[in-house]
A and B are shown apart, each in its own frame.
Chain A
């Protein structure tokens, strides 16, 4: 059991290192896209460790407690995440719903801490983040419902193995409409443009994070990186057939994240109500038609 826990913590650490490095590399990629030189690839590490070493201000115990709960919840979620078919900390218990709901504890912690800072701009950011969540989560869940209904298993690693079996395609190919919805939902989850309304640096002073500095901000950065790791890996396992070994996982992970980031950087930004109407129009329609096609008509490629 202790080994499993250590392994789980290792997964969280791996996710943090991977995503922070990839985030730095992506900054360079985007810079090249915009004909700039860009920062060094390890710039994000420098930022985080600098923040952790600085003396910060605190707005009371809930401000600190929220940060601890946020990072704790996200670490706990990452501990359940499989990396390859074999590399799972708690085999058989990597249930899809754990990722959707346990991640929410972290989010709740962050939202609580941000509201506890007493800054209305932070509350506006939280409001927008929750509204965005209401928008992207429903179409995404309908697509995942279809997948679980087909595979008969809600364990992430089992779904990944199902796609690796002979005659089974990756779900992004088998359920093409659902795949489109999932990519859109992933962009919403990651807060990429056009769905980055809740961060919206130009309007609301960096959103929920407005009051943070020093170690609190550093911990929230770590939390953010691990959250991105969880969300992208979820996409890799659910739609891209998971990974037989860690090398395949890394390739798929890097490709997905870079792809989403590239799309994001040529987009503008939606207003928050536009995010909601957007997701409840086309993605939901696509998700429902995909579910009807796959479940009732049985047309799965």
Chain B
């Protein structure tokens, strides 16, 4: 479908259809989510990528019809709708656990409508509408999982972000009397610009799950249904990145210039927040026992990288940031889906309860392995290229403290991504999973393998993606990244991803030749290991899972709950304030009602006298 308006309307129709058919049969509704998201991704890939979308609007009412296309919106829309499509394959297999399967399928497509609208609208009011549509529809997806409490947490932070976005929009409206995005952003100056920037960044931080608005992210991602977790990490979080691109890059430098660092004050503050996000996300991820929570904190820390990258106004770091959005979306979705596939077979995501999954689920294991290699920023995967580009900016600008955070996060990511690998997939094969578990069904393997392929592709030939981000850069009036067919030119040296990948291939080939040309080894059982003279016959005793990094965790254990306690006491204060209002305004006590009536009459009389 080449008409953008019709794409939105038809997806909405798919949502309704999913609800109706989902009521007839639960699986039918979830199949519609696959078809609906495939329709959106297919249309966007066909016409959006080549920029031939038809933008005429006949049916959408009012401001909702203000649609426009740019390379930036295509980039985000393609990426997120692809994540939606991949996750949709998981829906039929997880729908049985839902209490309201038809509702689930409808909300899934409704949030996709919100996402598409958000990326393509040219009107701030519609932008807010679509933003809230995504928040509300995804809000009701969360409590369909484990608990309800995290949904209210998500709503609290999202509402805070949403309303600060609204205030920013109204502030801009008071200046220009128009809701047009490009017009408003161009007209900003002085103090209003600072306020708008800060308000928009609040909404970006809250959506991205960055410090200090990160509390909801691990809770929501842990408690949401398994497919929705992948959706949040790979898709919905990226809305925050989109708002951040608008605020950070399109507004340009905000605040006074710090001449020693050659950067504007507020951009620097955002980068520091990004750096703190990286460090906190890394440290928290290291100590998690639930694989989903662990990956949630890693999403948080990668959100920090995106903020740091977009904070610089240089070509390499912004391309790095845009590529990181892509690489992280793909990698974290495939990691979450792999964990989801394990959870489907074993009904748990706790690392301490799992072990030796590789023997029954080798393909899922490989998918997870490829995903974490990308997340840890190791070649030959996409995460390496984007981190390399981000480091280029950090190093040539000489931002030492931001650099410490980025280096710490990148080395720390080896630590936390290795935990599920070592304890969940590897290690002893626990007896309870020896017979019951088998490889995930084919329909689940297809999206995981596709995502893995993209992970590798984005690391081997990233120039196809970087050429597209160059289009975005030229739209944003930033110098383009220098690319040849296979090399990327950074600030201080070139990178040849294909060369690295093929040398890795050659290295592995040589090692393989050495390996097979030597004597064949004797296969022994996993329990047949060196135990220093002890006799151990139970697998659990030979499986090292809980408190993996205990010596390291001990060093910062005392500080971890500080933030949570701050927000808890804040929520108590807000509740108390609410009680005060409730006591004085919404009450059944007659004396208070009489009091207000008296006040009212006094005021009315006063008006009469005056």
In the complex, identify which listed stretch (A59-67, A232-240, A260-268) lies at the interface while the others stay far away: A59-67
Within the assembled complex, what's the spacing in Å between the Cα atoms of A72 and B514? 10
Partner of B551, one of A62, A68, A155, A272: A272
Residue A252, interface by CB 8 Å: no
Instruction: Given A79-B507, A118-B543, A141-B403, output 7 extra A-B contacts at Cβ < 8 Å.
Output: A64-B521, A102-B378, A104-B376, A115-B423, A120-B544, A131-B552, A276-B555
**Assembly CA distance A253 to B493 (angstroms):** 25
Shortest beta-carbon contacts, A-B, top 8 = A72-B508, A76-B507, A120-B544, A75-B507, A118-B526, A71-B511, A72-B507, A58-B521
> CB distance B359 to A60 under 8 Å?
yes
Chain B residues within an 8 Å CB radius of A291: 398, 400
From residue 103 to 138 of chain A, which have CB atoms closer than 8 A to chain B?
A: 104-105, 107-108, 111-112, 115-121, 123-124, 126-128, 130-131, 133-134, 137-138
> Nearest chain-B residue to A61 (Cβ)?
B362
Please indicate the chain A residues that have their CB under 8 angstroms from the CB of B394 in the complex.
145
Q: Is the interface of A mostly helix, strand, loop or mixed?
A: helix
Chain B interface mostly: helix
Would you give the 0/1 interface string for A269-288, flagging 1 where the beta carbon is closer than 8 Å to chain B?
A: 00111001100000010001
Q: Pick out which of these stretches binds chain B: A22-30, A93-101, A163-171, A184-192.
A: A93-101
Interface string of A288-300 (1 = CB under 8 A from B): 1001100110000
Task: Say if the beta carbon of B373 comes within 8 Å of chain A.
Answer: yes
Binds A, one of B212-220, B413-421, B562-570: B413-421
Question: Residue B496 at the A interface, CB < 8 A?
Answer: yes
Evaluate contact between A126 and B500: CB separation under 8 angstroms.
no
Is B426 on the interface with A (CB-CB < 8 A)?
yes
- Can you give 29 A-B contacts (C-beta < 8 A)? A53-B518, A57-B523, A61-B362, A64-B515, A68-B508, A68-B515, A75-B506, A75-B511, A76-B507, A90-B503, A98-B379, A102-B504, A108-B378, A112-B422, A115-B427, A116-B426, A118-B529, A120-B544, A138-B408, A152-B491, A158-B493, A205-B530, A215-B521, A216-B521, A273-B552, A273-B554, A277-B555, A288-B404, A291-B400
Which bracket fits the contact residues of B? 35 or more
CB distance from B555 to the nearest CB of A (A): 6
Count of inter-chain pairs, beta carbons less than 8 A: 251
Q: CB-CB < 8 A to A242: which residues of B?
A: none
B512 adjacent to chain A (CB < 8 Å): yes
Known contacts A90-B499, A152-B492, A273-B555: A97-B388 contact under CB 8 Å: yes
Closest to B403 in A: A145
Does B494 count as interface, using CB distance less than 8 angstroms? Answer: yes
Residues of A within 8 A of B499 (CB): 90, 93
Interface residues of A (CB under 8 A from B): 5, 8-9, 52-62, 64, 67-77, 79-80, 90, 92-93, 95-98, 101-102, 104-105, 107-108, 111-112, 115-121, 123-124, 126-128, 130-131, 133-134, 137-138, 141-142, 145, 148-149, 151-155, 158, 205, 210-211, 214-216, 218-219, 271-273, 276-277, 284, 288, 291-292, 295-296
B526: chain A residues at CB < 8 Å are 59-60, 117-118
A77 and B500 alpha carbons, distance in the complex (Å):
9
B residues adjacent to A (C-beta < 8 A) = 260, 356, 358-359, 362, 365, 369, 373, 376-379, 384, 388, 391, 394-396, 398, 400, 403-404, 407-408, 411-412, 414-415, 418, 421-423, 426-429, 490-496, 499-500, 503-504, 506-512, 514-515, 518-524, 526-532, 542-544, 548-549, 551-552, 554-555
